[in-house]
Amino acid sequence: MVSSAPNPQLPARVAPWRRNALPLSAAALVLALDQVSKWLVVSHLAWGQSVPEEGIFRFTYVRNTGGGFGLFPNQNTALIGTAIVGAFALAVLYRYRGSQSLLLRLILGLQLGGALGNLADRVRLGYVVDFFDWGFWPVFNVADSSITVSLILLAAYLGLRGGGRRPSAPLRQGSGPPAADSKWPSG
């Protein structure tokens, strides 16, 4: 006999546009903030210029031809391909796991928005515009920040959920580790 009890892990049936509104809105917001901030930097600073000229935090117009932290310089085609594969992987992850959690939907939207922001630069310009300069850290942008924050949130989400693993059956009394007097050596 098939039970008709609802599955508590899945949300109630929600219209697809409502379920997709959060990640798509987050992605669109990140993409818009990223592109507008980069346009402002390119419009008001010369390449390599910093405002202020000295200090712990500056806005510095940098052209990054590599990946994160400037790794893999001048590999634009490979980085475009990687970004496209990454965006596809996020869409697949969302399709199969993302609709189960509001936080996971937000995380995936932030990652997608960041990936699309940097991808837009790579396709349009051949490099990524970076401008947040803390001096001791590689120069970065809004898209990079969104990706980093979303990865921290994802790690926290997975950590709180125990990596998404659930025990297959509840532990019963007496089913713990072997007793100290068993044949297995202790500590």
Reading the block at residue 85, the tokens are 């594969």
**Among the listed residues 134, 114, 133, 132, the one whose alpha carbon sits nearest the alpha carbon of residue 122:** 114
Q: Alpha-carbon distance 138 to 133, whole Å?
A: 7
What residue type is assigned to position 2 of the chain? V
Q: Alpha-carbon distance 153 to 147, whole Å?
A: 10
- Residue in 34, 121, 133, 144 annotated catalytic: 144
- Residue in 34, 121, 130, 133 annotated catalytic: 130
The verdict on whether 121 is a catalytic residue reads no
Q: Alpha-carbon distance 30 to 148, whole Å?
A: 13
Distance of CA 26 to CAs 59, 71, 120, 158, Å? Answer: 25, 27, 17, 20
Residue 157 makes CB contacts below 8 A (sequence gap 6+) with: 101, 103, 104, 107
User: Is the bond preceding residue 52 a cis peptide, omega within 30 degrees?
Assistant: yes
Beta bridge partners of 63: 129
**Catalytic positions, written as ranges:** 130, 144
